[in-house]
Every structure is written in structure tokens, then in C-alpha cells.
Amino acid sequence: MDPSDLQRPELYINRELSQLEFNRRVLDLARDENVPLLERLKFLCIVSTNLDEFFEIRVSGLKQQADYGSLQAGPDQLRAPDQLRRISEVTHALVVEQYRVLNEELIPRLAGEGVRFPRRADWDGKLADWVKRYFNRELLPVLSPMGLDPAHPFPKILNKSLNFMVSLEGKDAFGRNSGIAIVQAPRSLPRVINVPESYAQGPHDFVFLSSIIHAHVGDLFPGMKATGCYQFRVTRNSDLFVDDEDVEDLLRALKGELPSRRFGDAVRIEIADNCPPEMISFLLAQFELGEDDIYQVNGPVNLSRLMAIHDLVARPDLKYAPFTPSQPRRLAGDNDIFEIIRKDDLLLLHPFQSFTPVVDFLRQAAMDPKVLAIKQTLYRTGSDSVIAQALIDAAKKGKEVTVVIELRARFDEEANIELADRLQEAGAHVVYGVVGYKTHAKMALVVRREERQLKRYVHLGTGNYHARTARLYTDFSLLTCDVAICEDVHKVFQQLTALGRPGKLRKLLQSPFTLHRSMLTLIRQEADAARAGRPARIMAKMNQLTDPTVIGALYAASQAGVRIDLIVRGVCVLRPGIKGISENVHVRSIVGRLLEHSRVFYFFNGGEPLVFLSSADWMERNLYKRVEICFPVEDKRLLARVVEESLHNYLSDNTQAWVLNADGSYRRLTSGAHKQRSAQQALLDEYCG
């Protein structure tokens, strides 16, 4: 078949619609009665958080394309206006179902467990009195209602802030009344408030801040009558634009750009479902939005804030059972981490195995007088990063500390700018990678003097140096002193911090240079083996799969007879199961308690399997526009472990697995007559039991 036939648009699923399908799977967990109740509420909130980012970045980008008349399209060839129409249809249905689950399933079941959200109509006198006092004490002094008139134009509304549009009758002391006022909720106050037990029916009664404002909004307009109060929330374009080629100082440019994120172009408005049409039209005009951009909801417009309930309610029986990540036996006791690595490579699977050895690796390096230099990439680290502190301590002790910070890590820009300033103040060398390419690789290099020679030690990972997400995301860490790998990492740091061509890498694959080409070569080798009648197999696990050249190579391998099993958590634009094209490709998504984040690539390779771990997905941005690292697992024992734990284990899951159909929809697997198997639970039992 002509390779161009494998690029036909009907062979590809739209990227944005695939992203929305992922959110359907998350919402399915909010409906799942086998999931603890408070965790179900948390999954519901995650859907809202995901949709926020989806509109802030993906939808805003499509709107810009549509406004500029761009003809740009993905491999499915769907233009921006058509994508926006389909997104609106799918998302409106998704949001309706989300609020149905909240109102008809979760709130009644939570009430049955003593976690109540009493509606205003159900407040008894005691609770109503407490709400009144709370309003007068906490809200009235900080609220600034704005009546709209020529001297008070429609206010600037912050991205994702809670606001109220109030309709009024009567006139104020100056004889004014435009009929409309805007009230902006204080960002400093929680959106759900725990009612003191003496005023509640139990320890876990909550009222929404929006309900308190609704109940007493009339107090903000004395002498007038509030005839309606409608909460709303605007989502804005939050994608920062900095022209790398036109700025002299990326740090300064980003600092100047960050404030604009709060007031980018509006892309969506969420509003109470009882808001009158004329007021909706008024808001749409203010934000220059169309009918497809409005989402009327039966409940709080800021559902993501309900996430706080999970921590506020001390009910372990309504949550996942806690677990303690294990430590490898080799690390038992107070051991020298460098001595342990010298004996053998150390492979860790987080969060089932502790992230502490990675932290200890850097802490020991900071304190060890034999360590001369530390080099590290940082993408996301967290506000109180112990790893960042170790680097600061090392710099203060006079070690050569070089840190490559990716300032443009989306929504972490401000934290990364602050971290860059702290590291520089401590004496570390801080650079921001390569112009035009995000540095997404996760690697740390330690140079240590041992006897008369310098020895290198390396950490490579599939996830960020972030202690909190290391307890929530599944990722691999490799600690090694392999000479070739250490030399390769050294060369990559040379690329990032200096100029020139450090030379060919011996073991690592790297974006934007060798990773894409190498993956295509390995896929084609499996296809060649299958055509020759030899055994062939490809297995891969990743977050997203969108690159059309990789997908085309997978289609060709499928046609050659290669069995291909893909575990893709989120977006997948490949269509499996198409006769004559992809009937040998099987795609599943695992969505569960933990966020699947590791990238694992397996090739049968004539019976001598090749296994790679990577920071990169098979996406255009990872393969062409980022600095990424893909590293081999060469020790046969460790290789077998990776294949079993992260591939076979997940391919046998029948409780948290969704299978991708050719039409882009997903079907959740059920165990049927077979024994239930959860890949994540199997690993928790093995390592944390």
C-alpha cells in the first residue's frame, strides 16, 4: 500500500475530541459505586479542573485560529470552526451529566453518610442565624458591589473567579439605578465553609460561599430590592505568548507576561441555570462570546473548589485506604547511596516505591565533600521542594551547581521564576534551556572525586522532581553510574548550557534529534520481521499518542502482522481495529486512583527485547519541539521487571481499563466470569501491602 494512504484523515481521531473522551472516563469513576464516596467527588472535581485547562489552552487556541481564518488542521483535517462546534456539543452533554451525577448521586449519598450541603430553603433558624453572622463578619467588610452606570463600567473579571450578576429595583441615595450590579466574591475566602457543629446537624455540614452571598446579597444594596442573583464564572485564554527569538531575557519577558493571563480573551462562561435570557445576552455581549460558549449549570459554577471537601472530612472509610511506599531492601539502614549505585543500577517504580532515594541522592550529593558538581533539569518541583533546597545547600557549600529550569512549564511559570531567583542568589548557575525548545527531560548528574579519578552518577526519570506528585503519579526512576549513560547525560547538559556539538550519544535517545527517528526505525524493524515470517511484537505505554508519522508506522506494522498493544492514558488519535489497516493494534486506557504517567516502549527485537523509558510521549511537541530523554533498561532482571509491571500487568487489567473503539469511543472492560484484576492495586499489594 502507498504510505500516503496511511495518512488519510478518516484514519485519525480528532485530538480535542479524544481529550474530552478522557474526561468521560474520569467522570465514569465519579459514577462508579466501587470507588469510595469522597474519591468519587474528587474525580468529579478533576473533570472540572481538566475542562478549565482544556478551555484555557486548547479551545482558546482554536478560537484564535478561527478568528484569523487559519486553514491549519490536524491529521483528521478538521478545521477550527468545525472542531469548536463538535467540542461545544460534546462538552455541553458532558457538563450536564457532571451536574446530574453531583445532584442525583453524590450529594444524596454523601448526605446518607452525614456529609451534608443544606440548601438555603432547608436552613433552620439556627443555621440561618449563623450564616447571617458569617456574612456580616467575613463578607460584608470585603465585598465591593459595583452598580453599572457610565461612571461604573462593567468591571474586569478575573479568569475563573466567582462572580454574581444582581438585578435591582429602586433607586439609591443619588437617584441612580441601572438595574444591574456585579458582585465579585473574595478570592481569599473558601468556596465551601464548614458549619460549626453547634449550628449544624453533624460535624460535616457545609454551606457554599455562593449560597451565603445569594441569601444576603440584598444587604449590599440598602434601600433597594435585589430581584435576582445569578452566579457566573468566566474562563479566559491562559496560554502565555513569548516570542523566544525577539526577547533578550526570557525570565524578564515571562515576568511581564504573567499578569496578562488573568485577563486574556474570554472563551467560556458558566452561569446559573435560572439566569434570565436577557441577562445571559448581556453577559455574552460583555465578553464577546456566542451562544455555544455559555454553560448553564445546576449547582456551583466552580465545582473544582469542592475538592477541599476531601481533606475537610475526616472519614477514612469514605476514602482510598492509605499506603506507604516501600524501600528496596538494598536501601535498608543508613547507607551510602553512591556505594549502592556503584554495586548495581537502582530502578524505582513510584509511588509504589518511595521517591525518597531520589531525594537522598541529591541531599547526599549536596553534603558530601567528595562531590564537586551537580547538574539538574527542573520542570515542575513544587513550592517547597526539598530537591531545590538540596541544590541551594550545595551551591552555598561552594559546589558547582548548574540548573536548567524550564520557565515555560505551563501554570508553573511563576513558581519556576521564583525558584530561579533563589538558586541564583545561592550561587548556582541557572539557565533556561534552548531557545524554541522546552526542556522536558528529567535528569540529574553528580560528579564525585573518588580516589584519583572523577566518577559520575546519574538519575533519569519519566516524571518530574516533585515530591507530592511522586505519590500520585506512576513513574520510573533509574539511578546508575553506567559510564556510557553518564557520558551521554554530560553531553546533553553541554548542549543545554553551552554552544557547539558535543557529539553523538551512545545509549540515550534524545529529542529533537534521535528519538523520533529511532522509534520509527524500531517500529519498522518489527514490521520487517513480521513480513519475513519471524515473531514480532510492540508494546508501549504513554500519556498521549498524536504524532501522525509514528501512527503511520504503527499502521504499516499492523498491516505486516505485528501485534501492537498500546496503553495510552489520555489523547489517542490512532484508530484501532480498522480492517486492512489497524486490526492488529489494540489500545486501552487505564484510569484509576493514580495518574498513569510513565512512558515505556518495548520491541521484541528478534527475541532480544529492547525496552526504553522516557520523559516523552509520541507527540509532535515531544518529538520535535522539546529536549527529551529516552533511556534503555539493559539489565535483564530490571528489563523483565519493567515488562511485567508496566506492560503485562496493565494489559491484564479488567477493572480500570477502557478499550478504544475505531469510532473514537471507549468501552470499559468488566471482569465477567474472570477474577477481577486492577493493575494499580496489584502493584500496591506487591510493594505496599
Label the pairing between strands 204-208 and 294-297: unpaired
Give the integer Cα–Cα distance in Å for 609 and 643.
10
Start-to-end CA distance of the chain, whole Å, equals 52
For 586-619, give the DSSP string. Answer: EEEEE-SSSEE--EEEEE-GGGS-EEEEES--BS
Convert 411-462 into a string of H (helix), E (strand) and C (coil).
CCHHHHHHHHHHHHHHCCEEECCECCEEECCCEEEEEEEECCEEEEEEEEEC
Cis peptide before 351 (omega within 30 of 0): yes
Q: What does the block give as the cell for 663? A: 469510532
Residue 440 bears catalytic tag: yes
Give the integer Cα–Cα distance in Å for 365 and 392.
12
Query: What residues are paired with 495 via a beta bridge?
Result: none
Q: What does the block give as the cell for 641? A: 521487571
Give the integer Cα–Cα distance in Å for 363 and 467.
14
Label the pairing between strands 657-660 and 666-668: antiparallel
Residue 379 has what DSSP assignment?
A: S
Give the CA radius of gyration of the chain: 27
Which of 204, 440, 459, 466 is an active site residue? 440
Q: What does the block give as the cell for 86? A: 463538535
Task: Fill in the amino acid letter for 651.
Answer: L
- Residue 598 φ then ψ, to 5°: -75, 150
Cis peptide before 108 (omega within 30 of 0): no
Give the integer Cα–Cα distance in Å for 448 and 364.
11
Q: What does the block give as the cell for 111? A: 448526605
Report the catalytic residues.
440
